[in-house]
Amino acid sequence: MSAPRTARETLPVLEVLEPDMMPKAGLKLDADVVVIGSGASGAVMAYELTRAGAKVVVLEAGPHYPSREFTEHLTTTVETIYADSGDQLNKTGDLSVLQGTCVGGSTVVNGAICFRTPDKVLESWGREHGLDNLVPDALSPYFDRVERSLGVHVNEPHEVNLNGRLLMEGAKELGIHAAPVARNIRHCALTGHCGAGCKTDRKQSMLVTYLPWASHHGARILSGTRAETIQMQGKRATGVHAVATDSQGRQRPVEVRAGTVVVAAGAVQTPLLFQKNRLANSSGLVGHNFACHPSVFMLGEHEQDVFAWVGATCSSYAGDIDNPLDSGYLLEALMIGPQTVVAATEGGTGEDQVRFSENVKKYQSLITLIHDHNVGRVYWEGNRKRIDYDLDDRDFVSMQKAFKAASRVFFAAGAKRVFMPTNRRMTIERVDQIDSTIDALTNESQFYRLFSYHPQGTMRMGRDPGQSVVAPNGLCHDLDNVYVTDASVFPTSLLVNPQMTVYALSNYLADGMIARG
Amino acid sequence: MYRRTFTRLSLLSGGALIWPACRSDPSGAVGTTGLMSTDERKTVERFAEVYLTTDGTKLKPLSEVSYVDNIDRRLSLFDAQTLEEVRLALKLFNYGSIPVGLNFRTFVHLDAAARIDYIARLDDGIAIQRGLSALMKNLVINGYWQDIEAGRAVGYQGPISEEAKIPSLGNAPLSHAPPPRAG
């Protein structure tokens, strides 16, 4: 009889084939399914398909960083595992579109915030885009499944820091719904370093869950390997040509022959791949309908120390998430560190900047999300990718509502001053200045410090091939065996953080693929 | 073209949030050091002297933070086109003060009060000017706060898990979710 195994020994191992390990001549692989991307969608697809018996190869363009190599230093993390080293901008240059580019994708660097898709959003998808298969009752079992798998739970009281409590207290005072957020995390160490990757594997990102599970079932995961060409015979894909780049910059060809191609590279890279290959675009909509929940940081200065970065990266939220189409905004108690605050908010020049920086521990910090319209576009301009997205005037109204709500919450929670997210110093000193200050703002470029972690919508899903790119079952309308499963298929923005929607939708689409054989 | 270039630049060096490094292809640029010219370094230093006046405050003194080297190192990761755009922007920022406010001097030769006034004028200017100002602020802010000790001076703990010996939980146990179902 063998010795009993420790719990540690039974944990699945993530095996990643990195370019440095590949033969110099490259690789030729055969698979049933090749999955492009290893983030929220690609990882779930790989696991569900692999455990159903399919032979799966996953191609990830970004590097593989095991969590032990995370530095808890945002700057170095951004350099290594964010898209364009953190400088993926809209064409105007006033919106930073942040995505993880590594094994595990954005799930490695997100705030672990979990919301189910609001019912009213799903209902609108059914009503306006023919997605009557995605009704709340149909997706609910999938949310249950992924929530169980990822340890999703509502923050316990000890996981709600002062920053989160102040948001809930202020919102309650104003009659705005507020509550602790749910997160996909186990035994959170409350270091506040989610944005730099969880060094101790508590955040249940794809790096420590679905990818090692897929690996355990036999999926082959290649890092540093960028898909370049979807090889076609008529309307059928026969495989993918990719290029692996090693640590010395040497490139190696990777050919994967496969009966099915799943593209899950995210709402920026997925349409670019299709455009490069001139595929699936009979609707003319590939790359169109980009939305991103444009966000800002807002700060309320208190007399007391808040230390908003201590504890869970995000601990509570406020807003009417059940009625996203009406409310249009969401507030989340979130901070990453002082460098983020001083970069995201203009404190002024000279003494003003210094005083602003010295007081950083006194700031209550919120981010705002809005349910934006799909007005953007992702495309190639020569060999440069472009993201055309300027805040729509209708969405600026939602943003003003968010600014006002955040400002009122700050004052209700006891703040003495509010810092606006503008490129020149702008503060609100009293409650009675809120409306006049914010009503006077206009929708100008280069005036607000905008960012987004939530690109969506560039490969719209819908029943009508003339109005969408992807069918309700995830297949491209124009192709026989190429699926798109990431956030690019969302017909509209969600308002809430999208990771849970991506997990559940991917699981749903994988089940459909398995059922169809 | 210039509007696009300079407005786009304002978010470089970290966007609204974070430190930059603009590589269109992650397999591409390899960093070198010592990219910035003397004039470029001077422009950044003269800006920082009035923008982030740390002397006698709780903040880590600017003179003890190698923020210009940090900026230089980061610029070395930009692709050639973006680097050229940043260099053009630094030059435009410096020379742009000549007609503004009838100074007839480049930014680096202005006294402190005139430099502050110039920055304020850009902040209130058109999009291109706001973009130039925002670029300079982001370069300096991110170059400065990249130093972990700068954060610690204001109470930020910085990296903590190793110091606190927080153990890794490793990969999650295999999911016990029910098997896929047909339909």
Question: Can you give the pTM of this predicted structure?
Answer: 0.92
Phi-psi region of B55 (alpha: psi -120 to 50; beta: other; left: phi over 0): beta
* Minimum CA–CA partner of B7 in chain A: A93
C-alpha distances out from residue A34 to A19, A38, A49, A221, Å: 17, 11, 10, 10
What is the tens place of the pLDDT at every residue in A444-488?
988 899 999 999 999 999 999 999 999 999 999 999 999 999 999
Does B94 reach chain A within 8 Å, measured CB to CB? no
Using CA coordinates, name the residue in chain B closest to A309.
B156
B38 to chain A, closest Cα gap in Å:
24
How confident is the model over A34-51, as a mean pLDDT?
98
Report which of B7, B13, B5, B145 is spatially closest to residue B78, judged by C-alpha positions: B13
**B 2-41 residues with CB < 8 A to A:** 4, 7-24, 26-28, 30
User: Is B142 close to A343, i.e. CB distance below 8 A?
Assistant: yes
The pLDDT value given to residue B33: 56
Q: Which of residues 253-292 of A touch B (CB under 8 A)?
A: none
Q: Flag whether residue A8 sits within 8 Å of chain B, measured between CB atoms.
A: yes
Contact A351/B134, CB-based, under 8 Å? no
Residue B163 exposure: Cα atoms within 13 Å on the Cβ side:
7
Minimal CA separation from A462 to chain B, in Å: 19
Low-confidence ranges of chain B (pLDDT < 50): 1-32, 180, 182-183
User: A238 in helix, strand or coil?
Assistant: strand
Q: Which residues on chain A are in Cβ contact (under 8 Å) with B172?
A: 11-12, 151, 186, 204, 208-209, 212-213
Total number of residues shown for chain B: 183
CB contact under 8 A, A446 and B148: no
> CA-nearest residue of chain A to B81?
A384
Q: Which of B18, B118, B123, B130 to mutate to test the interface with A (most CBs of A within 10 A)?
A: B18
CB pairs under 8 A between A and B: 267
- Three-state DSSP state, A366: strand
Distance CA(B109)–CA(B94), nearest Å, equals: 9
- Burial track B135-169 (b if 16+ CB lie within 10 A, e otherwise): bbbbbbbbbbbbbbebbebbbbbbbbbeeeebebb
pLDDT tens, residue by residue, A316-367: 999 988 888 877 899 999 988 888 889 889 999 999 999 999 999 999 999 9
Q: What would the pLDDT profile of A114-150 be if each residue is shown by its tens digit?
A: 999 999 999 999 999 999 999 999 999 999 999 999 9
pLDDT of residue B4: 43
pLDDT (0 to 100) of residue A517: 83
pLDDT in tens, A224-244: 999 999 999 999 999 999 999
pLDDT the model gives residue A473: 98
Res A2 pLDDT > 60: no
Residues 6+ apart with CB under 8 A from A122: A131, A134, A135, A136, A139
Of all residues in chain A, the percent with pLDDT exceeding 70 is 98
CB contact under 8 A, B14 and A451: no
Looking at residue A409, its pLDDT comes to 98
Q: What is the pLDDT of residue B175?
A: 67
Residue A404's closest CA among A416, A418, A391, A394?
Answer: A418
Question: How many Cβ atoms sit within 10 Å of the Cβ of residue B183?
Answer: 7
Higher pLDDT, A306 or A8: A306
The domains located in chain A, with CATH, are 156-185+295-371+392-447 (3.30.410)
How near does any CA of chain B get to the CA of A354, in Å?
Answer: 6
ipTM over 0.85: yes
Question: β-strand A329-334 against A314-318: which pairing, if any?
Answer: antiparallel
Instruction: Indicate the average pLDDT of chain A.
Output: 95
C-beta atoms of B172 and A209 within 8 A: yes
Asked if the C-beta of B138 comes within 8 angstroms of chain A's C-beta atoms, the answer is yes
Q: Pick from A86, A444, A445: which is nearest to B15 by CB?
A: A86
